[in-house]
Amino acid sequence: MKVIAIYNIKGGVGKTATAVNLSYLASLDGANTLIWDLDPQGAASYYFRIKAKVKGGAQKLVEGKQGLEDAIKGTDYENLDLLPADFSYRDMDFYVELTKKPEMHLNKLLKPLSGEYDYVFLDCPPSISTASESVFDAADVLLVPTIPTTLSLRTYKQIKKFFKQEHYDSMKILPFFAMVDMRKQMHRLIVEYPPSFMPGVLDSYIPYASEVERMGINRAPLGHFSAHSRAAICYKSMWDEIKSHLYPTA
């Protein structure tokens, strides 16, 4: 089972759209896929027409009183399940802190699912906290959507710095450019000449596109209602690139 976290300290950078579209593409490959909507806003749950509600909330999930399995719902797509968001996830940190090894707790919670799923996508909330550290530990890959602007690059540097300080494996970090508008000179420059502190940036990038916004109207992944749109094609090529990172010899 590969755990792929979509993370950024910043909000509004396309994390949920990425998690929804990539998990959908993984399921199309025939891989058993789970997306965990960790963001109390519940946008990923909304996209999949599933109520952002978990019985017992964050406390029961984190304490392990209720296995993750019981809270999982099937989406409209075969091979793709969702662990919904819950408003109580805003207190996730508090409950994680109370566990024995907070930084490793998410890994412990996910372990029982390893026989069932090939991929788990974590749609993370925009923050940096103990719960995020648990994500850093559990993830095989940390996808960091980054808008090609000065402020976004600065945030990316902060993440890298934090990884270094706390001795997390920075090789896990896979940044990519999101919401790219090539009409803007700064976007074009940064995408074409990525800064030296982003050596592993993915070749694929996601354009700024109205199609992505329409996901909210259709409540479906791009590939389902607009498979041939430019953004859908970009997500597809990004997914292929991520797989080549996960399975270098495949």
Partner 1 sequence: MAVNQLELVFPFDQGFSELLASFKNNFSVNFQAETVNYRVFYDTFDWLLYNNGSALEAHEEGPSRRIYWRADKDGDLKIQLGLRQVPQLASDLAECEFRRQLKSVISVRELLPRIKIKIKRLPLVVLDKNKKVVVRLSFDEHWYFPSKTRAGVVLGKRITIKPVKGYEDEHNQVVEFFRSLQLHEARDNMQKLALAESGISTTEYTTKLNLLLEAEIPAEQALKQVLLRLLDIMQQNSAGSIRGRDTEFMHDYRVSIRKTRSALTQINKVLPRDIISKYNKFFSGLGKLTNPVRDLDVFQIKLESYQRGLSKTAQERLQPLRDYLAQSRAEAQKEFVNTLKSAEYRQRIKEWREYLENPEPTDPPLEDTRKEIYKLADELIWNMYQLALEEGSAITDDTEAEALHELRKTCKKLRYLMEFFQSLYPANKISELIQALKGLQDNLGEYNDLYVHGGILEIFIKQSSDTDAKKACKQMIKLIERRQTKTRRRFAERFASFSSAGIQQEFKDLFVESQKERL
Which amino acid, one-letter code, is at 110? L
- Give min distance, CB of 73 to partner 1, in A: 4
Cβ-based nearer residue to partner 1, 16 or 79: 79
Best CA proximity match to 246, nearest among 74, 135, 128, 120: 120
DSSP state of 113: G
- Give min distance, CB of 81 to partner 1, in A: 6
Cβ-based nearer residue to partner 1, 75 or 146: 75
- Give min distance, CB of 242 to partner 1, in A: 15
Best CA proximity match to 149, nearest among 109, 195, 113, 103: 195
Residues 75, 48 contacting (CB under 8 angstroms): yes
Best CA proximity match to 19, nearest among 103, 112, 139, 110: 139
Which amino acid, one-letter code, is at 72? I
- Give min distance, CB of 246 to partner 1, in A: 12
Alpha helices (H) along 10-112? 15-28, 43-47, 57-63, 68-71, 92-97, 105-110
Cβ-based nearer residue to partner 1, 119 or 168: 119
Which amino acid, one-letter code, is at 193? Y
Cβ-based nearer residue to partner 1, 178 or 234: 234
Q: If you search the block for the tokens 């399975």, which residue do you land on?
A: 247
Cβ-based nearer residue to partner 1, 75 or 134: 75
- Give min distance, CB of 30 to partner 1, in A: 3
- Give min distance, CB of 70 to partner 1, in A: 9
- Give min distance, CB of 125 to partner 1, in A: 23
**Token pair in block for residue 250:** 């495949």
Dist. CA 207–CA 178, nearest whole Å: 6
Cβ-based nearer residue to partner 1, 201 or 234: 234
Best CA proximity match to 87, nearest among 52, 126, 138, 133: 52
Coil, helix or strand at residue 216 = helix
Q: Given the rule CB under 8 A, which residues bind partner 1?
A: 28-30, 32, 49-50, 72-76, 78-79, 81, 116-118, 250
Cβ-based nearer residue to partner 1, 91 or 118: 118
